[in-house]
Amino acid sequence: MQGGFLDRLKSAFTRPADETGLPEGLRIYAVGDVHGRDDLLAELHGLIEVDAKARPFDRNILIYLGDYVDRGLRSKEVLDRLTGNRLDGFEQVFLKGNHELAMLQFLEDASFGKDWKYYGGLETLHSYGIKELTLTDDPAAFERAREDFEEVLPAAHRHFLENLEVSAEFGGYFFVHAGVRPGIALHRQIEEDLLWIREEFLTSRGSFGKCVIHGHTPNEEVVVRSNRIGIDTGAYMTGVLTALVLEGGGRRFIQTGANARALTQAG
């Protein structure tokens, strides 16, 4: 009995920390930063549904990496879609981005609006019909905008924003909005880093324990490294919204928009 326990303990400590892949029968679609591009999100949803029907799996999970709002012109429509009818046959996981955090901060503190306005918040307010801040930075206007925003914001949207997850783990993958702090175990990461980190994470070449799937830092092309995959392709600027598809040890991508294309990468 003792030998069996010691063998299992020894195996746990000698197993590679960066095991990759997913259990058989599980497929994950991870969606990059939407930023108010409801048109692209609708199109990507359609492509994902077609893909899932063409290649049936026991279990399909959709993981959204955050930053649903700001910058693009249809943030309200994005949240309407995500809080409305869910895609049939998919489990869905919604992660928090730093832009959702900023939106909630404005609802609590009107003075934060001056920062948020130039951070993409003006476009979000316009999508809800709030126009007070279009041509002014008067503090009184920010308070009026906050009050009006609180009044028109659907309860379902606020509930959605206040109940987002900060990370998710499946198989050999760790899903997060921005990234992780190198040298810190995944289970000990703090929310500030998960939502905001850039350079320390992006330049790290060491193992994080699992392959980190993230958005937050836009690039025209998907970024694939041995320790991370970045799928924020700057949808609000480029017109390309990306989904990473994970099946077993394989990886491929679905992209939509004016420059839509499908990419495949071996595991």
pLDDT tens for 111-166 read 999 999 999 999 999 999 999 999 999 999 999 999 999 999 999 999 999 999 99
Distance separating alpha carbons of residues 179 and 63, to the nearest angstrom: 15
Instruction: Map residue 142 onto helix, strand or coil.
Output: helix
Is 0.75 surpassed by the pTM of this model? yes
The pLDDT of residue 2: 46
Give the DSSP H/E element, type plus range, for residue 27: strand 26-31
Q: Beta strands 241-247 and 223-224: pairing type?
A: unpaired
Number of other residues whose CB lies within 10 A of the CB of residue 203: 8
* Per-residue model confidence as pLDDT tens digits over 191-224: 999 999 999 999 999 999 999 999 999 999 999 9
Distance separating alpha carbons of residues 199 and 102, to the nearest angstrom: 21
Q: Is the pLDDT of residue 237 over 60?
A: yes
* Per-residue model confidence as pLDDT tens digits over 96-108: 999 999 999 999 9
Q: Is the pLDDT of residue 227 over 70?
A: yes
Distance separating alpha carbons of residues 29 and 14, to the nearest angstrom: 30
Q: Which bin fits 120, alpha (ψ -120 to 50), beta or left (φ > 0)?
A: left
The pLDDT of residue 84: 95
**Considering the chain, what is the average pLDDT of its residues?**
91
Q: Is the pLDDT of residue 7 over 70?
A: no
Q: Is the pLDDT of residue 266 over 80?
A: no
The pLDDT of residue 12: 41
Q: Is the pLDDT of residue 263 over 70?
A: no
Residue 233 confidence class, pLDDT cut points 50, 70, 90: very high
Residue 20 confidence class, pLDDT cut points 50, 70, 90: low
Give the DSSP H/E element, type plus range, for residue 146: helix 139-152
The pLDDT of residue 4: 52
The pLDDT of residue 261: 55
Q: Beta strands 250-256 and 262-265: pairing type?
A: antiparallel
Q: Is the pLDDT of residue 1 over 70?
A: no
The pLDDT of residue 18: 44
Closest by CA to 213, choosing from 53, 66, 10, 46, is: 66
The pLDDT of residue 49: 96
